[in-house]
Amino acid sequence: MRIGIAGIAGRMGRLLVEEVAAAGATLAGGTMRPGSTKVPPGGVTILPDPVALFAVADVVIDFTHADEAVPHAALAASSRRGLVLGSSGLNAQQERAVADAGRTAPIVYAANFAPGVNLVLALAERMGAALPGAQYDAEIVEMHHRQKVDAPSGTAIAMGRAVAKGRGITMEEAGIESGRDGHTGARKAGAIGFAALRGGQVVGEHTLLFASATEHIALTHRSFDRRAYATGAVRAALWLQGRGPGLYGMRDVLGM
């Protein structure tokens, strides 16, 4: 399989280069942000633009930026190539566009590619089903490095959606409480709360807390190395080989 990497000179891009080699796949090349002064990994082919990248790759892995998700998904659809999309911070319109592209191309889109996180998301759904919102308040606390531009994180939002799904509703129907400040009034029963912390170089920490009048249950995942995301993304790229069009998740890749 020929794997292309968008943003190949970034932190994730460099890890992906190593993981593609470790998996025995062929690195088709990569792209860099126009005007970037970063030095790409040695021995890799730098393509002039995403169009050229999709032309030479069977699957493209993209961890660049939410604004690139829709054009990259459109290129996957027009070229009938696979796409592994790990960019976070997509809005509802962007997610719909990615889903539309999945009707024509095989796409794996996930908030997080670490296997442990996806197990936590599965558990969050089961806990949401077992712990009703009328009695158990769901709060999600996440912390990331100071450079992260979106909040709450994509993984935190995925946790909230998993809890809501377990309760048979959407996260929007449950209600969202985020960024509380000042006199906010009493907490709404059944709402899902978010708190985002930023500082230092924390790779990623997420805690889902269910709090009732009689007990607290906490489910925590900590990432210590971004390599877990790169390994999972390459695993997803290899899984796409021979797949038909569709919008898949990491839980599909893991067989969960």
- Look up residue 38 and give its two tokens: 């970063």
Q: Where are the domains of the chain?
A: 2-109+226-254, 115-223
pLDDT tens-digit profile of 216-241?
Answer: 999 999 999 999 999 999 999 999 99
- Characterize the bridge pairing of strands 26-31 and 2-6: parallel
Q: State the average pLDDT over residues 123-147.
A: 97
The three state secondary structure string of 73-140 is: HHHHHHHCCEEEECCCCCCHHHHHHHHHHCCCCEEEECCCCCHHHHHHHHHHHHHHHHCCCCCCEEEE
Q: Which CATH fold would you assign to the domain 115-223?
A: Dihydrodipicolinate Reductase; domain 2 (3.30.360)
Average pLDDT, the chain: 96
C-alpha distances in angstroms, 222 versus 16, 43, 144, 199, 206?
A: 20, 33, 10, 15, 6
Q: State the average pLDDT over residues 194-205.
A: 97
> How long a stretch of residues is the chain?
256
Q: How far apart are the first and last CA of the chain?
A: 24
Q: Is the pLDDT of residue 34 over 90?
A: no
Q: Which CATH superfamily is domain 2-109+226-254 in?
A: NAD(P)-binding Rossmann-like Domain (3.40.50.720)
Q: Could you give the residue numbers annotated as active site?
A: 144, 148
Q: What is the arrangement of strands in the sheet containing 59-62, beginning at the earlier edge strand?
A: 26-31, 2-6, 59-62, 82-85, 106-109, 246-248
Q: Do domains 2-109+226-254 and 115-223 have the same CATH topology?
A: no
DSSP state of 46: B
On the 0-12 / 13-18 / 19+ scale of CB atoms within 10 A, 186 is: exposed
Between CA 55 and CA 57 the distance in angstroms is 6
pLDDT given for residue 198 in this prediction: 98
* Contact of 178 with 152, CB cutoff 8 Å: yes
pLDDT tens-digit profile of 58-116?
Answer: 999 999 999 999 999 999 999 999 999 999 889 999 999 999 999 999 999 999 999 99
Between CA 90 and CA 113 the distance in angstroms is 16
Q: Where does the pLDDT of residue 179 fall: very low under 50, low under 70, confident under 90, or very high at 90 and above?
A: confident
pLDDT given for residue 89 in this prediction: 86
